[in-house]
Chains A and B, each alone.
Chain A
Amino acid sequence: MNAIAALLKAIQASGLGTAVRESDWLFPVIETVHVLALVTVVGTVGRLDLRLCGLLGRGRSVADLARELLPWTWTAFGLAALSGLLMFSSAASKYAANPFFEIKLALLAMAGVNMLAFQFGAGRSMARWSAAARPPVGARVAGLLSLALWVAVVAAGRWIGYTMH
């Protein structure tokens, strides 16, 4: 426990953490990049989720849609993670103690597990059902879960901003 507390202190005392904290404009700029990236992640993932649920864009195969959208998703996710890490570094101890930050991390982890479960479950036979208007139940459940988790991630993230003072 003390090791973690010490690590958090070291992060916010680092040159990077100090720079983000003390600059007048750095934090808002990073936060803007974070918003730009997160709406791209949620927008493209949500679009794919709705297709997986069989609710939207059934004229296109899941594989086709994934090929088009996922490069944007991953690029934006990288940016969101990086900008998130930078904001975290500015007040690591405070963020780590914030319940909404903790909830958000847990939700992100769940979204990751859900994605992996899909990859190793219904996703393995995607070639067979990719063009189907109604994907198999495993894929529909994964899509619905992903959608719910990402909506919750956005909500938790928004609430961090109201509970950091």
Chain B
Amino acid sequence: MSLHALCVWLAATPLGHLLQAHQWMVPAIQTIHILCIAIVFPAMALFCLRLVLLAGSSRHLTETARRRLPWAWWALLALLATGTLLIFAEPTRELPNPAFQAKMAMLAVALVLTAWCQGSGNRGAAGKRFALGPVAVRIAGGCALVLWVGILVAGRWIAYMIDT
């Protein structure tokens, strides 16, 4: 099945029809999507900053992770759900869109890096107060931070790179 055929099929599903039937649905879902980003992004960014720069260093790395990340992972699930709805609503706006594709690629890498950093904190490798993690964790945290910003930027640019 080609990407185009997939888009046509998604838009023609009952869910696709429902989402296209009411003009307010897409902005409403986008609003929820942005509110979830407001939960995920600061949490991920502050966690990564803690890894790289010692922001909030009066706390253990493990404590930073334990406080910030559970909420971020739940909100991330809500982001995936609302994002999926937005794809059903306007598949041709999203799937063939280079900004969307870049966003998904960056998301995959950012998730792996952040989870790995969190795991390394949990394993106690960097659990000391005032301590930085191992160099590898710091680098991974820095890359993840850049990626989280990149995901947000790419998300905004989906609207400007729609294939017509």
Contact = CB atoms under 8 A, between A and B. Distances in A.
Interface of A: 28, 31-32, 35-36, 38-40, 42-44, 46-47, 57, 68, 72, 151, 154-155, 158-159, 161-162
Contacts of B30: 158
A91 to B, nearest CB: 17
Contacts, number: 60
A43 B43 contact: yes
B56 interface: yes
Interface residues of B, number: 25
A43 B39 CA distance: 5
Contact of A72 (B34, B42, B155, B157): B42
Nearest to B28: A155
Interface in B22-55: 23, 27-28, 30-31, 34-35, 37-39, 41-43, 45-46
Nearest to B43: A43
Interface in B45-79: 45-46, 56, 67
B62 to A, nearest CB: 15
B67 A35 contact: no
Given A35-B34, A40-B41, A43-B41, A159 B27 contact: yes
B153 A39 contact: no
Interface in B119-164: 149, 152-153, 155-157, 159-160
Interface of B: 23, 27-28, 30-31, 34-35, 37-39, 41-43, 45-46, 56, 67, 149, 152-153, 155-157, 159-160
Main DSSP-derived SS at the B contact region: helix
Contact of A57 (B38, B67, B153, B159): B67
A44 B34 contact: no
Given A154-B34, A158-B31, A44 B152 contact: no
Nearest to B56: A68
Given A72-B42, A158-B30, A162-B27, A42 B35 contact: yes
B37 A39 contact: yes
